[in-house]
Structure 1
Amino acid sequence: MRLKRFIPNLITLLNLFCGSIAVILAVENNFVYAAFFVILGIFFDFFDGFFARKLQVQSELGVQLDSLADMVTSGLVPGIIMYKLLALASTSPEPNVGSWDSFMTLGDTEVVPLAFVGLLITLGSAYRLAKFNIDEEQQSFFKGLPTPANALVIISFPLILEFQNSDAMHAIILNTWFLLGITLLSTYILNSPVKLFALKFKNYGFQDNAIRYIFLILSLVLLVVLQFAAIPLIILTYIILSLFSK
């Protein structure tokens, strides 16, 4: 019985483990493997709640542990990646935004002051997770974009740069103004009052889950056609369908 109660928490700790590895990899500029461990962590994040419900062992400890793990995997890692992208953009030939877009030295470390704006994603994620833990409304829907969905958008950018040979997409992603805009939008939408449907199936009937099936089909089509570039569009589709589902 004790072992059964610990299974969901063990899965949550695997999420945290993956997120911790992703932090190390992201700091070392290994974005591809960092993204892989974020995705693996999000996979564990989905199944910890699933097993907690199936085994009927939900607990307040599990809720708090889940948010702590998400804070690392889906909050800290995307903030670091956005910092790194903004720093990388400062070396691109695109017009910069003044001295804040230049390297400076802190001790033995070179940093780009403007790039620290990317950590707003981490702050916004922390605030969103804290609100979620005390909000009793969010059972069948989310208020604001869930942190794992937001993390997928952010990690998609280095994957596009690495695997998709498109000069146009590369120019957009490595534009400082674009990255700043995404950072501010990301921070806002994490904590926006917009209600978004949850991907939890109480049953598998089409009538009760039409919006979920439509979303999953559209997501699959976009992934096949656009590969990693589909991820931001999938999240945008998720938001639009949620608005229409009202």
Structure 2
Amino acid sequence: MIKHIPNFITLLNLFCGSIAVIFAVNGSLVTASFFAFLGIFFDFFDGLVARKLNAQSGLGLQLDSLADMVTSGLVPGIVMFQLLSLSSGDLNWFENTNEWTNSMQWIGFKIQLLPLMGLLITLASAYRLANFNIDDNQTDSFIGLPTPANTLLILSFPLIMEFQNNDIMNSMILNKWFLIAVTLVSCYLLNANIKLLALKFKTWNFQDNAARYTLILFAVVLLIVLQFAAIPLIIIVYIILSLFNKN
């Protein structure tokens, strides 16, 4: 029975991700972000519990990736789809029209082509997760940006707009070229051949975990000062620290 506890926590990740998908599709990006963050918490927690209970298994590995595909793959793709839709000023998917411009149309359903680019994040996440499952070299570190970190990056944008409401930041986030650039960089980082730090503490020794402690300190300070706007900066700091980390 104990060995199934981590799998149950993983299913909570999938449950939260599924709820996030529903809200994201309906344009409630802040609520979607909340449930995705909750799912990411369960994603971190299930691995921790599995190690503590010595209940790691092949089933758990596969289930974890399947749950991540929803919470940290599908959700950020849909959120980017919605942000690109906002940037083009067209959120009316159901529209009867005989025009053929930059949209596709089926029986009363019109969809802009540009927002579909956001779903590249979902495709890149799927490839990254599948590759992770067959790669034995990602136990102590990651090759490429982990999908939860990428999800935090994408979901920070609607949170910045909602809670910080800064005209300069809002105009930048809703700039289609900025969103396209973020999408392409996101897809690259997910599958880049770059060794990144895994936030798993085998010991609490500072010398062995200097980069991890530094990242945590930076993250706390930046979050206090910049709130949600700190999340993209934290991801950048995470990548830089990983590149210079020798442990």
Fold in common (TM above 0.5): yes
Instruction: Summarize deviations over 1:42-69 as a string: whole Å, max 9, x none.
Output: 0000011111111111110000000000
Residue 7 of structure 1 is aligned with which of 5, 8, 32? 5
In structure 2, list runs of 5 or more residues that go unmatched: 91-98
Residue number in structure 2 paired with 1:215: 215
Residue number in structure 1 paired with 2:157: 157
Please give the alpha-carbon distance, in whole angstroms, between the structure 2 residues aligned to 1:82 and 1:110.
18
Normalised TM-score (structure 1): 0.94
Instruction: Summarize deviations over 1:140-174 as a string: whole Å, max 9, x none.
Output: 00000000000000000001111112111011000
Aligned pair in 2 of structure 1 residues 9, 109: CA closer, same or farther (>3 Å)?
same
* Pair 1:166-2:166 in alignment: yes
Normalised TM-score (structure 2): 0.93
Q: Which region of structure 1 is more displaced relative to structure 2, 110-119 or 147-156?
A: 110-119
Q: Which region of structure 1 is more displaced relative to structure 2, 139-148 or 161-170?
A: 161-170
Structure 1 position 103, deviation (Å): 5.3
Within-5 A mapping of 1:116-195: 116-195=116-195
Residue number in structure 2 paired with 1:60: 58
Paired residue type of 2:11:
L
Please give the alpha-carbon distance, in whole angstroms, between the structure 1 residues aligned to 2:158 and 2:109.
23
Residue number in structure 2 paired with 1:34: 32
Residue number in structure 1 paired with 2:202: 202
Q: Is the 8 A contact 1:78 1:154 kept in 2?
A: yes
User: Size of the alignment, in residue pairs?
Assistant: 238
Paired residue type of 1:79:
G
Please give the alpha-carbon distance, in whole angstroms, between the structure 1 residues aligned to 2:17 and 2:105.
28
- 3-state secondary structure, aligned to 1:201: coil
Residue number in structure 1 paired with 2:108: 108
* Pair 1:20-2:38 in alignment: no
Aligned pair in 2 of structure 1 residues 239, 68: CA closer, same or farther (>3 Å)?
same
Please give the alpha-carbon distance, in whole angstroms, between the structure 1 residues aligned to 2:41 and 2:74.
17
Instruction: Summarize deviations over 1:171-204 as a string: whole Å, max 9, x none.
Output: 1000010000000000010000000010000111
Aligned pair in 2 of structure 1 residues 101, 50: CA closer, same or farther (>3 Å)?
farther
Paired residue type of 1:223:
L
Identity of aligned residues (%): 64
Instruction: Summarize deviations over 1:121-146 as a string: whole Å, max 9, x none.
Output: 00000000000000000010000000
Residue 80 of structure 1 is aligned with which of 78, 81, 92? 78
Q: Is the 8 A contact 1:90 1:102 kept in 2?
A: no
- TM-align CA RMSD: 1.5
Structure 1 position 70, deviation (Å): 0.1
Q: Which runs of 4+ in 1 moved over 4 A?
A: 99-104
Please give the alpha-carbon distance, in whole angstroms, between the structure 2 residues aligned to 1:206 and 1:235.
21
In structure 1, list runs of 5 or more residues that go unmatched: 93-98
Paired residue type of 2:147:
T
Structure 1 position 110, deviation (Å): 3.1
Q: Is the 8 A contact 1:80 1:119 kept in 2?
A: yes
Please give the alpha-carbon distance, in whole angstroms, between the structure 2 residues aligned to 1:203 and 1:104.
54
